Chain A
């Protein structure tokens, strides 16, 4: 019986099964990404063939950088996601602290609002926001998209940062009080420096959410050079065109920095996410 064996040791059979399962799972996880990488190195006209790379070429990359608006899209995405993140974290930080530390009239409704707005499907806001932005002349403008993304980022950041502030011992606040700091001073001088990792994780999530958003970006942004990456990539593969060569090269250029960062940061990210959510 397994129960008699000491923990951690396995029969060779179980060991093989374990590795076999994990190998299969890993292959499934990695293969699509790998295949796109291979495709990006094939000449564009062979993109859709299933041969492995026969005549490796960087032509897809040169095409992408020289003849498409990829760099524009990239910069647009960086701009929109970056500003959204900074604003989102900035606006939400004090709220996260307040709901973590105080009880005040209106707190419960606020918590509820923060929670509910995170469940908001884009479907409920997209039409009114579209009409509103249209009237303000903000459609097809990065500013319009940033404002729109704040509807996602602000409640999310507030909620998540509350979780981080919850993990900071109340004794710190008390010491601040003893030193004669008011709540703002305590927050600014003592708590915020301690919460930096939390802010970073929150910011990262806000960033990738904006970075990967598709619906608003597809509906609000038009015209080649105003698109973000999510919208721009769609122009490679439409009903009538399928430029998989450029698509795969773009995918690789987007995925590599994200993947490298992720692999290193993932432990913190998960800790942050579950802390933010469970402590609610």
Chain B
């Protein structure tokens, strides 16, 4: 809170804020006993093509504060990152000092002993100054291993003009979506919704919508194959089979973006990370044409997963003091405000939402309440492991290669192999 007030007082003047942050760094000078930080900090970033230039610039800005530290920015495509990080960490050679980890990976990396604990004073700040649901993602067995950088959730992106042409409102439920789809198809001949079929993350809104979840961590129970789970698989198949949605089992993300950006599809489900790229599309030269709504509800409710990215320091890093300082810098308020302004990414610091630049971002203003309502996943080490087997079954179900019942059952079997001893 105290910091929040101070930051508000400094308004948006980045230079001023920067000096304030420099002061902060000196505050935890215990880590760099020799006085100044030096050496190289290698950061593996997983930002997408539209975001990476901005992040690289911000990251290299660290040198302005610590002239003796060189930041080496490496962009590792998100899709390969979990594996590459594991390879690098387990071999130790050329391993990065800092990684940007999907919130679902933190517990996994931490349980393998790869992450260095966040220094106590920073951990305290994480608890007091960050959104609680974001802070939770960086913890494993009660200790803080990563600092939240951005938070996100899925929303329904829609092309305002196409929906207006078809005379429909953004659908609030999947039932509405199906009726809207007919109007859109009738009026424009285009597909209503592009639903990714090659990534099981896109399955989560569907299963949450039916009131289900992948697992119930409290009771150590696999729930993907219960009634709600089966229903979710059915819904996925039904959306595609009924023609309300188109899907794709390979290159799904790129095809989805292309279809939405060129007006081949009127809607898609995506997260804030896609906003910058979407604005680059022909249909959104006028940025006002992009509308975002909550993901359509299933038969039970509307629900989208809470996602985001945390920054963690490699336990084997030779330059941990500088690495932790870098993480603190990258998650500082002014950096978050800058990312919100430039890339429409959501800050993880509570106070950042008070900043004018954040307040004026339409995307952030939409996504913030959505994030607050987002379904928090179980932060178990196996979290990231569930998606690969789920993807196989989700793709099978959505393309009609196996029945929803079989897909749910097979996913349950695979989950129980990973979560040994769970019901």
Contacts and interface: CB of A to CB of B under 8 A. Distances in A.
B94 A223 contact: yes
B254 A241 contact: yes
Interface string A15-53: 000000000000000000000000000000000100000
B62 interface: no
Nearest to B252: A239
Interface string B73-110: 01111111000110110111110100000000000000
A140 B258 contact: no
Given A140-B94, A235-B80, A237-B251, A243 B87 contact: no
B284 interface: no
A219 B92 CA distance: 15
A238 B91 contact: no
A167 interface: no
B79 A238 contact: yes
A48 B261 CA distance: 13
Interface in A199-230: 219-220, 222-224, 226
Contacts of A241: 48-49, 77, 79, 254
A141 interface: yes
Contacts of B254: 48, 240-242
Given A48-B258, A226-B94, A240 B77 contact: yes
A137 B93 contact: yes
Contacts of B90: 134, 139
A134 B92 CA distance: 8
Contacts of A223: 44, 74, 76, 84, 88, 94, 96
Interface in B1-57: 44, 48-49
B91 A240 contact: no
A101 to B, nearest CB: 43
A242 B251 contact: yes
Interface residues of B, number: 27
Nearest to B92: A137
A236 B360 CA distance: 34
A240 B78 CA distance: 7
Nearest to A237: B251
A96 B88 CA distance: 38
B87 A222 contact: yes
Interface string A231-253: 00011011111110000000000
Contacts of A139: 87, 90-91, 93
B279 interface: no
A133 B198 CA distance: 33
Given A48-B258, A223-B84, A235 B77 contact: yes
A238 B87 CA distance: 18
Given A140-B87, A224-B76, A240 B253 contact: yes
A242 B252 CA distance: 10
Contacts of A240: 48, 77-79, 253-254
B334 interface: no
Nearest to B96: A223
B49 A243 contact: yes
B64 to A, nearest CB: 23
B91 A133 contact: yes
**What interface size band does chain A fall in?**
20 to 34
Contacts of A242: 251, 253-254
Nearest to B254: A242
A139 to B, nearest CB: 3
B198 A239 contact: yes
Contacts of A235: 76-77, 80
B74 A134 contact: no
The interface centre, meaning the residue of A48, A134, A235, A240 with most chain B CB atoms within 10 A of its CB, is A240
A238 B80 contact: yes
A137 B78 contact: no
B199 interface: yes
The interface centre, meaning the residue of B77, B92, B252 with most chain A CB atoms within 10 A of its CB, is B77
A238 B49 CA distance: 11
A141 B251 contact: no
Contacts of B77: 235, 238-241
B48 A220 contact: no
A140 B93 CA distance: 7
B199 A239 contact: yes
Contacts of A140: 87-88, 91, 93-94
A258 B67 CA distance: 46
A148 to B, nearest CB: 13
Interface in B300-330: none
B79 A239 contact: yes
Contacts of A220: 87
Contacts of A226: 94
Contacts of B87: 139-140, 219-220, 222
A138 B93 CA distance: 8
A243 B257 CA distance: 13
The interface centre, meaning the residue of A140, A220, A234 with most chain B CB atoms within 10 A of its CB, is A140
A239 B250 CA distance: 8
Contacts of B48: 240-241
B78 A238 contact: yes
Interface in B371-404: none
Nearest to A45: B280
A224 B74 contact: yes
Contacts of B94: 140, 222-223, 226
Contacts of B88: 140, 222-223
The interface centre, meaning the residue of B78, B85, B93, B251 with most chain A CB atoms within 10 A of its CB, is B93
21 contacts: A48-B258, A134-B91, A137-B93, A139-B90, A139-B91, A141-B93, A220-B87, A222-B84, A222-B85, A222-B94, A223-B44, A223-B74, A223-B84, A224-B75, A235-B76, A238-B77, A239-B198, A239-B252, A240-B253, A241-B79, A241-B254
Interface of B: 44, 48-49, 74-80, 84-85, 87-88, 90-94, 96, 198-199, 251-254, 258
Interface of A: 48, 133-134, 137-141, 219-220, 222-224, 226, 234-235, 237-243
Q: Give the 5 A-B residue pairs with the shortest CB-CB distance, closest first.
A: A239-B79, A139-B91, A242-B254, A238-B79, A238-B77
Given A235-B76, A239-B253, 8 more contacts: A48-B258, A133-B91, A137-B93, A224-B74, A238-B78, A239-B77, A240-B78, A240-B79
